[in-house]
Amino acid sequence: MKYFVYILKSLKNGDLYIGSTENINNRIKLHNFGKVKSTKSYRPWQLLEYKKFNTRGEAMKFEKFLKNHQQKEIIKRKYNL
């Protein structure tokens, strides 16, 4: 099974959200339909990028890496946020 780490941008306030999932299309729909508690207030969301992994462990490790403050700042600069 494949796993994905994705980066979303809130079109409401420009915030970033980083997450991981097995089904990226379904997960983005859940974010935009308000079914994810932590992102519900900041809809709609736009997918900026994603990366595919072979194992859940690899995906979780990369997600944790991206969520560190320094990496989030690099991502913000990349997308001029």
Mean per-residue pLDDT pooled into runs of 10, the chain (81 residues): 96 96 98 97 98 98 93 90 85
Q: Indicate the domain borders of the chain.
A: 3-78
Q: Which residues pair with 50 in a beta bridge?
A: 6
- Sign of the Cα torsion 73, 75, 80, 81 reads negative
Using CA atoms, how far apart are residues 81 and 76, in angstroms rounded to an integer? 5
What CA–CA distance (Å, rounded) separates 69 from 66? Answer: 8
3-78 is classed in which CATH architecture?
3-Layer(aba) Sandwich (3.40)
pLDDT at position 69: 83
